[in-house]
């Protein structure tokens, strides 16, 4: 795989914020498997204890329960840390429309707290999660980093502000930041429960339970679905990126395009189900089409994703078959 042979300096210490979440717990696992120390910071507002339960007996793993909205907690989390991957945030476009003040506190203030703590503790690299939602109403495909439109949700705005802080912290303070615009990440440990669950685990859960799914709109929306292993590769390569790559944001995807109705049909085929979905209204704040140009990440980070949609979705479905309750 694209990151198995990567090496960091002996004794390197890592911090994963949101380490009990979907992406964060997979990053914790990958770094531990490489033999390095990992500190996980999470307040369990969306992360799950079962995601990190397998690591608790590992002497290289440390759990710090705390909130990124508290600067003292962030300072404690960054103490003695070399590399930071900042995944802690609240996702979901619809929820951000309902709770804009909370998103401001967590995604903007929390991210700024973490960058400041990283700077004061002299971290070598600060990698952080942004989102393809920052492209907003920019209609052209594929999405290219320097061509964005007007954001369509508070969530997207919080991610755009985080990118600007990342650029400034590199430019003004010399903190080497690397931002990732994730495109619809999916895979093991992604939570299928709740109103705001992501579309793939939500569809899988409904199909396994012989329930009817609702597709927002006509199913003609397209997404660049990105398997979790590609995201792990990007984060690790981002932490090893040359200084010239800092202060920038990068599309992290495979570079494909799948329509929602085709996604539903593929999942139905893999799960051997024949249940017709409902079609509901479009979701407020949603981007209609999403497809990434990943040439910048390939050139500057050496990013070279191994998993296309088909290979990733088969692995994800197999995981859900045995782990979904």
Q: CA–CA distance from 299 to each of 16, 40, 119 (Å)?
A: 25, 30, 27
> Quick check: is 36 catalytic?
no
Can you tell me the distance from the alpha carbon of 182 to that of 198, in angstroms, rounded to the nearest whole number? 13
CA dihedral 189, 194, 200, 206 (to 10 degrees): 110
Closest CA to 38 of 52, 50, 21, 22: 52
Give me the half-sphere count of Cα atoms (radius 13 Å) on the Cβ side of residue 34. Answer: 25
Closest CA to 227 of 193, 194, 182: 182
Q: Are 113 and 75 in contact (CB under 8 A)?
A: no
**Which candidate in 3, 135, 155, 307 is catalytic?**
155
Q: Which residues of 219-236 are buried (b: 16+ CB within 10 A; e: fewer)?
A: bebbbbbbbbbbbbbbbb
Enzyme catalytic residues:
155
């Amino acid at each position: 795989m694209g990151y198995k042979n990567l090496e960091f300096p002996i004794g390197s210490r890592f911090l994963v914020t949101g380490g009990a979440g979907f992406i964060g717990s997979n990053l914790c696992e990958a770094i531990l498997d490489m033999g390095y120390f990992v500190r996980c910071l999470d307040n369990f507002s969306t992360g799950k204890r079962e995601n990190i339960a397998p690591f608790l007996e590992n002497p290289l793993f440390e759990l710090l329960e705390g909130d990124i909205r508290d600067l003292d907690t962030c300072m404690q989390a960054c103490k003695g840390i070399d590399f930071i991957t900042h995944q802690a945030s609240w996702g979901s476009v619809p929820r951000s429309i309902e709770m804009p003040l909370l998103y401001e506190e967590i995604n903007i203030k929390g991210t700024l707290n973490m960058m400041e703590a990283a700077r004061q503790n002299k971290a070598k690299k600060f990698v952080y999660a942004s989102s393809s939602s920052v492209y907003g109403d920019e209609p052209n495909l594929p999405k290219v980093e320097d061509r964005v439109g007007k954001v369509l949700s508070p969530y997207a705005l919080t991610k755009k502000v985080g990118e600007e802080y990342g650029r400034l912290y590199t430019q003004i303070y010399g903190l080497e930041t690397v931002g990732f615009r994730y495109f619809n990440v999916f895979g093991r440990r992604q939570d299928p429960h709740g109103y705001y669950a992501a579309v793939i685990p939500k569809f899988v859960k409904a199909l396994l339970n012989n329930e009817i799914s609702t597709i927002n709109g006509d199913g003609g929306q397209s997404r660049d679905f990105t398997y979790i292993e590609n995201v792990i590769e990007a984060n690790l390569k981002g932490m090893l990126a040359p200084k010239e790559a800092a202060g920038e944001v990068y599309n992290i995807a495979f570079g494909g395009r799948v329509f929602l109705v085709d996604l539903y049909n593929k999942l139905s085929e893999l799960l051997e189900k024949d249940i017709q979905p409902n079609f509901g209204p479009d979701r407020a704040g949603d981007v209609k089409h999403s497809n990434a140009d990943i040439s910048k990440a390939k050139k500057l980070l050496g990013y070279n994703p191994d998993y296309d949609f088909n290979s990733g979705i088969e692995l994800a479905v197999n995981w859900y078959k045995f782990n979904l309750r």
